[in-house]
Amino acid sequence: MATAIKSPTKAPMPPSVIVAVLCIGGATVSVMQSILIPLLTDLPGILGVSVSDTSWVVTATLLSGAIATPSLTRLADMYGKKRMMLTSLSMVLFGSLIAVFSTNLWTLVIGRVFQGTASAVIAIGISMMRDSLPAERLNASVALLSATMGIGSAFGLPMAGVMYGAFGWQSVFWLSAGMSAGLIVAVIVVIQESEVRTGGTFDIFGAFLLSCALFCLLLAITKGTTWGWSSSPTLTAFGISAVIFCLWVPWEQRVRDPLVDIRTTLNRPVLMTHITAVLVGAAIYINSLATLQLLQLPISTGYAFGLTATHAGLLMVPAALVSLIIAPQSARITRRFGARITLCCGGLVMSAGYFLRIPLGGSLGVIILASIIVSVGMAIAFGAMPTLLMASVPVTQTAAANGINTLSRSAGAALSSAAVAALLAGSTMQVSNHVYPADSAFVDAFILGGFLALAAAGTALTIRVKSSLFDALVVADEQNLHIPVVLMQDHEAKTSGRTHDIVRHGQVISANGELIVAALVEVLGDNDVLVDWSRTDGEGLFSVAIPVAGEYRIAVSAQGWEPVAVVVDLTQQDAPHRIQLTNLNTNTSGS
């Protein structure tokens, strides 16, 4: 097929520099989420509020991140990833400065709301890597960036503790302000804006509905322990969330440019990857939450170690360092055995770290070793999930898909936080007129973490990637397109790292002008290698990314319509390219 020469562009920065900047961005996200943990014990006295009210400084970040991530990642696919990353980081900087000068709880909560938008940075960064890095560097770099979610918090805890002890609680937010400001400059200088943009109109109503549903859902989960799981506020929040989700899903299926492509999200590889992310996120958070409490509770309990938050955080650093080393190795496992097996291995390693604690007892050495093993499993699993997603969604939806995956991890963390709180509150002991969790409560928490990790490994095994494009087309047509056009096993290696992708748009219609919705569109390059795929929206429109302008074979199939394959010149972008289908009940052919 004819291939056009790409227009010259500004020379990109070396891949190692790009990876370093994006990984620092990922670490910044983790720091934002953990930076207040050393202060939580003292904040009620500092701000003159109750312990229950103080919990809002953590809850606010979780809620705002859940709300902002789907919107910012969708906007990144539409209008530019660099632009949206800078938007997110600017909001983090603004929130940090509000927190620095806050004098009461609710001003601090507002600052934390803005800081919560940092959660979109990792999803956007993964998509940036897909657009900027050569294929041979992509998987290892994505694995490293994904692992920074755990690595950053391990370094952030002792760093925040030291800053708090030496310079006061506001210094913690000066630290986050400095990190975000430096990262903004680095992104401006190092990262080029991606040419992969879908355009279109932002789904404001869909974003509003999803934000409300997520707010109510996570509010019920994070406050359920405090309010009571059977209390009216908790049940009302769960009920409102369910109702809004029931409204949101059909809306997303009808709107022209949906915030979330429901059909793609419900495809088995994508859906199961998100479910695995919930399980992995829940399992890894138990390690951080329960281990830190175990290290900091008084020695008088008979099983804990009475360490300060700073010292406890320092003991978590070895796990972070090992994860930093192991994360790129996830790509090697993926290259040899596939991302599905890699994700399964990560879950199994995590479960081994949890179950190791039970027979070996609760010595400090065992706790540190078990935390290292769990962190190694986390690094392996987190590195595999983006690879699975990038091989299962259109190129033009990589940021949005990774945004939902990041949101899934956060939801898992919220669920495990509530579960651990319930376990620790349900089994207690009294020492010198103080009530503390019993040792058995921590054992139960680690057992729960082990089973969650095993569930993640089992779920990963259900993810299937077809090896034949033809088989995928047949399955999609026979199953009403509910099963995805999954890509060839080596598709990611062949299509990733294309630094100058071009987005082209098209429309699928019938001979009499009827718009065909949910049609499956495949773009094939030389030797019929799958370049990208898409699905038509409510107006029959689709967007695909190609490495260079030129002629491509486009295969289209839809439920009730005769499949067609045509050669289309995708050099020009003046108007959508139209492809006609013929109804299977007629004898006339389309063109």
Share of the chain above pLDDT 70, in %: 88
Question: 175 with 276, same domain?
Answer: yes
DSSP at 515 = B
Question: 369 with 425, same domain?
Answer: yes
Across 13-27, 267-281, 295-309, which has the greatest mean pLDDT? Answer: 267-281
d(CA 371, CA 376): 9
Question: 481 with 429, same domain?
Answer: no
pLDDT: is 565 or 279 the higher one?
Answer: 279
Q: Could you give the 3-state DSSP secondary structure of residue 13?
A: coil
β-pair partners for 579: 508
Does residue 1 belong to any structural domain of this protein?
no
Mean pLDDT within 349-365: 87
Question: 568 with 531, same domain?
Answer: yes
Mean pLDDT within 254-283: 86
Cα–Cα distance list, 96 to 23, 64, 170, 498 (Å): 20, 14, 10, 36
The last residue of one of the domains, among 254, 275, 290, is 254
Confirm if 141 and 157 have CB atoms less than 8 A apart.
no
Question: 229 with 163, same domain?
Answer: no
Does residue 2 belong to any structural domain of this protein?
no
Q: Nearest 10 degrees: CA dihedral of 87, 93, 94, 95?
A: 110
Within 8 A by CB and 6+ apart from 465, the residues are: 269, 338, 340, 388, 391, 392, 486, 487, 489
Confirm if 154 and 134 have CB atoms less than 8 A apart.
no
| Other beta carbons less than 10 A from residue 178's beta carbon | 12
Mean pLDDT within 301-314: 81
CA nearest to 211, candidates 173, 240, 176, 182: 240
CA nearest to 87, candidates 62, 114, 113, 67: 114
Please report the pLDDT score of residue 208 as a whole number.
92
Question: Is 374's pLDDT higher than 80?
Answer: yes
| Window from 153-162, 286-295, 523-532 with minimum mean pLDDT | 153-162
| Other beta carbons less than 10 A from residue 209's beta carbon | 19
* Maximum pairwise Cα distance, the chain: 87
Question: 242 with 381, same domain?
Answer: no
Please report the pLDDT score of residue 183 as a whole number.
92
Strand 434-437, strand 530-535: pairing: unpaired
d(CA 95, CA 110): 7
CATH number for the domain harbouring residue 518? 2.60.40.1120
| Window from 256-260, 572-576, 585-589 with minimum mean pLDDT | 585-589
State pTM to two decimals.
0.78
Averaged pLDDT of the chain: 80
- Please report, as a single letter, which amino acid is at residue 148: T
Question: Is 33's pLDDT higher than 80?
Answer: no
Question: 288 with 362, same domain?
Answer: yes
Radius of gyration of the chain (CA): 24
Q: How confident is the model at residue 314 (pLDDT cuts 50, 70, 90)?
A: confident
E strands in 198-325: none
Question: Is 352's pLDDT higher than 60?
Answer: yes
d(CA 32, CA 155): 12
Domain total in the chain: 3
Structure tokens given for 252: 């997303």
Does residue 9 belong to any structural domain of this protein?
no
Q: How confident is the model at residue 499 (pLDDT cuts 50, 70, 90)?
A: very low
Does residue 145 belong to any structural domain of this protein?
yes
Does residue 32 belong to any structural domain of this protein?
yes
Report pLDDT digits (tens) over 195-239: 777 767 888 999 999 999 988 988 888 888 788 888 999 999 999
Question: 294 with 390, same domain?
Answer: yes
* Helix residue ranges, H only, 260-308: 262-265, 268-296
Does residue 588 belong to any structural domain of this protein?
no
E strands in 95-248: none
Structure tokens given for 563: 């499949």
CATH number for the domain harbouring residue 26? 1.20.1250.20
Report pLDDT digits (tens) over 456-471: 999 999 887 543 333 3
d(CA 559, CA 335): 35
The boundaries of the domain holding residue 277 are 15-203+255-461
Question: 212 with 239, same domain?
Answer: yes
Report pLDDT digits (tens) over 73-107: 888 888 888 999 999 999 999 999 999 998 888 89
Question: Is 493's pLDDT higher than 50?
Answer: no
Helices 204-227, 56-79: inter-axial angle, 10-degree rounding: 160
Please report the pLDDT score of residue 269 as a whole number.
86
Please report the pLDDT score of residue 483 as a whole number.
30
Confirm if 60 and 102 have CB atoms less than 8 A apart.
no
Question: 65 with 140, same domain?
Answer: yes
* Helix residue ranges, H only, 479-523: 491-495
d(CA 399, CA 488): 21
d(CA 549, CA 381): 36
Q: How confident is the model at residue 583 (pLDDT cuts 50, 70, 90)?
A: confident
In angstroms, how far is CA 63 from the centroid of its own chain?
15
Q: Could you give the 3-state DSSP secondary structure of residue 553?
A: strand
Question: 451 with 523, same domain?
Answer: no
Q: How confident is the model at residue 473 (pLDDT cuts 50, 70, 90)?
A: very low
Does residue 6 belong to any structural domain of this protein?
no
Confirm if 264 and 404 have CB atoms less than 8 A apart.
no
Helices 364-390, 135-167: inter-axial angle, 10-degree rounding: 140
β-pair partners for 530: 524
DSSP at 543 = E
Q: How confident is the model at residue 373 (pLDDT cuts 50, 70, 90)?
A: very high
Question: 214 with 342, same domain?
Answer: no
Please report the pLDDT score of residue 474 as a whole number.
35
The last residue of one of the domains, among 461, 484, 503, is 461
Q: How confident is the model at residue 1 (pLDDT cuts 50, 70, 90)?
A: very low
The last residue of one of the domains, among 426, 461, 496, is 461
How would you classify residue 200: left for phi > 0, otherwise alpha for psi between -120 and 50, otherwise beta?
left
Residue 576 CB-density burial (10 A; 0-12 exposed, 13-18 middle, 19+ buried): middle
Does residue 111 belong to any structural domain of this protein?
yes
